[in-house]
Structure 1
């Protein structure tokens, strides 16, 4: 598979007003990051740009990982944070069957409620998954993406939220998974890295990071 993408690592400036705004509202974060990709991408610009992001936080720092086909960080607000960009092409070339890797991903594990037959054609409510149900969801989605999990460590995160004018804020349930795995299907894995896994990709979920296992 001929896969190409760029990955930016942005150490956020917590004193910057735009950073504070974006951390409060995932829709604002999405708008900020969409400025880093080309214009005129059609009716699904995030998908066309292959834009994904993840916020990794510690007690002292907030680091934003942003991945897309191309990125122009000059469109970030001045003083937003310290950043660097790398080409992911070498990582895609390194993906081989049975390769041992470490992974990290933040996901939005949900299931869609089944509706009675008299409501056929309507969409059921999406129900957040927690605990063992969320773990099973991630194990299944990882297998579909070409990864056989060896270990997984779940970390429930504060739900992300975004505002839509005239509506109550929408919340997205997030869980971060860290662990080790083996590559079973390099092409499927490359596709999953490029397109993301699960829902809420516009709001900080779906970006899969890999590194060689020690």
Structure 2
């Protein structure tokens, strides 16, 4: 079962303010919504994807493979509502037109001199380059096509990478929000992408694809 929870944060709540200022703290808070999972990749096993929505009120969208335990949120953290995504997933059919939104971390591996070989696959690894502008849009068009979407329109907006107060340095990514209208070309690929996310930086609020009928 895939669920989407919308949390409108109370901007005066101390825990909410702390999470907005520290993405590591936010990630820990959101992981409290799902069962304890013994795994080296608990976020992926829980199907946890999230995104901070732009707007006048601080809002989080949180997707999980489990019905979230909203009582696990800090007291007076905000107002939360959970929606079962099964009706949406069951309605995805080739040819249907949908509105989409995703905040993603567009990257590409580019060769620089003599890139090193991967110790397992033997493939040469290029330098990870963060993409912006037209290159980011081209990246999204390629990734969308690969997951069963054919974008008709694409608008892009740079989004700030979330802050972290941890003493260890967090990975840095350049985030871009993509919005538009697209045709579904493969509902199987699209369903997989919706459940598992797209691209890098999923632990930092990227990769969650949202769809709605156009």
Shared fold by TM > 0.5?
yes
Contact 1:162 1:171 in 2 (8 A): no
Q: Classify the secondary structure of the residue corresponding to 2:163.
A: strand
In structure 2, the CA distance between the partners of 1:171 and 1:104, relative to structure 1 (3 Å rule), is same
In structure 2, the CA distance between the partners of 1:101 and 1:6, relative to structure 1 (3 Å rule), is same
Residue aligning to 2:11: 14
Unaligned runs of 5+ in 2: 119-123
Contact 2:2 2:65 in 1 (8 A): yes
Residue aligning to 1:133: 135
Q: Structure 2 CA distance, aligned partners of 1:126 and 1:18? A: 34
Pair 1:24 & 2:25 matched: no
Shift of 1:162: 3.0
The farther-off stretch of 119-128 and 169-178 is 119-128
Residue aligning to 2:175: 174
Aligned residue-pair number: 208
Q: How large is the Cα RMSD of the aligned pairs?
A: 1.6
Q: Deviations over 1:130-175 (max 9, x none)?
A: 111000000100111100000011011112233543x345432111
Residue aligning to 1:81: 78
Residue aligning to 1:150: 152
The farther-off stretch of 139-148 and 170-179 is 170-179
Q: Deviations over 1:1-48 (max 9, x none)?
A: xxx301100001111111111111211111111111110241210010
Q: Structure 1 CA distance, aligned partners of 2:132 and 2:81? A: 34
Shift of 1:102: 0.3
Q: Classify the secondary structure of the residue corresponding to 2:18.
A: helix
Q: Structure 1 CA distance, aligned partners of 2:126 and 2:75? A: 43
Pair 1:67 & 2:63 matched: yes
Residue aligning to 1:201: 202
TM normalised by structure 2 equals 0.91
Contact 1:161 1:172 in 2 (8 A): no
Shift of 1:184: 0.3
Q: Classify the secondary structure of the residue corresponding to 1:160.
A: coil
Contact 2:149 2:184 in 1 (8 A): yes
Contact 1:147 1:185 in 2 (8 A): yes
TM normalised by structure 1 equals 0.91
Residue aligning to 2:45: 48
